[in-house]
Structure 1
């Protein structure tokens, strides 16, 4: 499928912002056509901006964070998310860049789980496993704009109905994603869902970041990462958690104090790094499951001064260092993305939680809605 409408270039958003043309003005929301799918479905883009030069562009296709533009310590703007310049890239060569993942983020072993003694089989799109909803998940759907507002905290609400049996999951699910951006640099994302039958839900955003700017030389190896977690969940060779919680102390998974990602990213002496081809693991956050979002990860680029904090109500954060990017995808501005060019920090329930009784349950029942609140907080350090 190819896009037939106007390209959605992040560079264009920056230019319009600087030129003061009336598009993407500070503290406002703008809404435009981003293209259409092969069946004629129109895809929209909503841009949120604050008074400090930060802007976020969200596509209805996949409820996708297409760009997050932020100033460095000198005020220079750059898009800090990997992705594509236009809709066609997200449709033709999908790689989860910035998408809303669901119904279940991450892996489910064998693509199978059971609820109340009834087994359900999902598509197996990651070897024998089901990954990010099974290949035709929420990231491949065109969401509807329920509301979009300007003001001090501009925002957009997008909705999607997933029918009973969609990709093998039970229950009709009505999902909602809300993006808001405030002047403190908080891009808040809230995921909500109701179901007609007992089911499992685990939604998150899958943005992949390079705080030096997407496509910047050196990738994220020079970034410093902090994760407030004393344990992570080790995986098998097929990246399914073993069920353990392994202490990070003395390992390359210890980010309790800020540490350069390069120090462990290519450490082939660690079996877990070999299994993941880098970091592709879940940290069990010390805070656990919370009502209000709390810190899950802090990423800093010492050169640009940009800082990204990820806050969440969920008990885990999956860190993925773009290990399966092999230089074959042409991203924004013609950049070829490779392993280590970006990092995803995905707050969520633990991988394979439907089959792991010791993990926080992802079960959602009728009348008991699902909710996950997370924040991308962008700032600068001197």
Structure 2
């Protein structure tokens, strides 16, 4: 039987899902934040594989968006504005002149209503909020449900469901930073990533998409046959340098019934596969993560985690050839991302 437990933390509650194999996922009602994912290594030792604060009060500001649900729109919106049906909508600028991750009052800053559930082979948390017309400058009243499910197949499934009474941009994601070494023992340089993507979206020096879909062939962005993340963290390729030596780019994903991405850490033996019905994902290698933060398992360093933000492209608001993010009334937003945890057999 999968279990759900909870702990009251002042005005917040942390819920923990635990399966029959000892894997657990802990989530706050504040921001829907995943604070811990405990996974065994090749010796069976359980360790945390996501970044989170030691002092939970740090989540009140959470400038790195550790573990949070991001919305209404994940990513940057150029000049904090967009046009829709002949009208211009001005959003809150919180990243220079741009709008980032839903703005300062985004979903990562809200307390979600949580309804736990338990079944024989899975357990989960159904999180709901209502975002009102005009919130952060967005049109439409929006009802959102995000469901975290942990099952006995060692899968964490995140389901996103939303409806709106007006056409509005919407692309939700989770902003967990993964580090499969466990308990922050190492940076992510030696993590090996395989990804079903032949195109990525080029960025300018302000980290705003230029609109160009670049071919991965012959570049550090070609993960189709698998490569170490160090390839992009330690070279002079211009697109890696622009983001602070690493990746912060949108990869267009190709359909697959098996996986869109696989992440492996040979030292720990941990392996994580990602499958989603989203059209792409941002892979972010914590290039801007500052040194010296007191995290749950130690002190932070640059490149201490990697995010796999499955989503549509916010750049589609200004470049209509990119994967779109407009939700129309009467058309439910239904997206799913599944993370499967295994141990490498060698």
TM-score where L is the length of structure 2: 0.96
1:362 aligns with 2:325: yes
Of the structure 1 ranges 347-356 and 177-186, higher mean CA displacement relative to structure 2 is found in 347-356
Determine which of 372, 375, 378 is the counterpart of 2:335: 372
CA gap of 1:346–1:93, structure 2 versus 1, over 3 A, is closer
Contact 1:35 1:87 in 2 (8 A): no
- Distance in 1 between residues matched to 2:56 and 2:258, nearest whole Å: 33
Contact 1:29 1:150 in 2 (8 A): no
- Distance in 1 between residues matched to 2:41 and 2:262, nearest whole Å: 16
- Distance in 1 between residues matched to 2:105 and 2:251, nearest whole Å: 26
Determine which of 76, 79, 87 is the counterpart of 1:107: 76
CA gap of 1:92–1:199, structure 2 versus 1, over 3 A, is closer
Name the structure 1 match of 2:9: 34
1:203 aligns with 2:166: no
1:139 aligns with 2:113: no
Of the structure 1 ranges 322-331 and 200-209, higher mean CA displacement relative to structure 2 is found in 322-331
Contact 1:28 1:151 in 2 (8 A): no
- Distance in 2 between residues matched to 1:319 and 1:369, nearest whole Å: 26
- Distance in 2 between residues matched to 1:351 and 1:232, nearest whole Å: 14
Query: Runs ≥4 in structure 1, deviation > 2 angstroms?
Result: 146-151, 293-296
Name the structure 2 match of 1:254: 222
Structure 1 position 29, deviation (Å)? 1.1
Contact 2:314 2:324 in 1 (8 A): no
Name the structure 1 match of 2:237: 270
Report 1:11-50 matches (<5 A). 27-36=2-11, 43-50=12-19
Report 1:342-353 matches (<5 A). 342-353=305-316
Report 1:1-382 matches (<5 A). 27-36=2-11, 43-217=12-186, 219-267=187-235, 269-277=236-244, 278-287=246-255, 295-333=259-297, 335-382=298-345
Structure 1 position 86, deviation (Å)? 4.3
RMSD: 1.5
- Distance in 1 between residues matched to 2:191 and 2:294, nearest whole Å: 23
Structure 1 position 31, deviation (Å)? 2.2
TM-score where L is the length of structure 1: 0.87
Structure 1 position 150, deviation (Å)? 4.7
Structure 1 position 351, deviation (Å)? 3.5
Contact 2:211 2:319 in 1 (8 A): yes
Cα deviation, 1:135-186, whole Å, max 9, x if unaligned, reads 2100000000134335320111010111110000111111111011111111
- Distance in 1 between residues matched to 2:265 and 2:129, nearest whole Å: 36
- Distance in 2 between residues matched to 1:356 and 1:343, nearest whole Å: 27
Contact 1:93 1:329 in 2 (8 A): no
User: What stretches of structure 1 of length at least 5 have no aligned partner?
Assistant: 1-25, 37-42
- Distance in 2 between residues matched to 1:77 and 1:159, nearest whole Å: 30
Q: Matched residue pairs, number?
A: 344
Secondary structure at 1:295 match in 2? coil
- Distance in 2 between residues matched to 1:159 and 1:337, nearest whole Å: 31
- Distance in 1 between residues matched to 2:183 and 2:76, nearest whole Å: 27
CA gap of 1:48–1:147, structure 2 versus 1, over 3 A, is closer
Structure 1 position 377, deviation (Å)? 0.9
User: What stretches of structure 2 of length at least 5 have no aligned partner?
Assistant: none
Secondary structure at 2:211 match in 1? coil
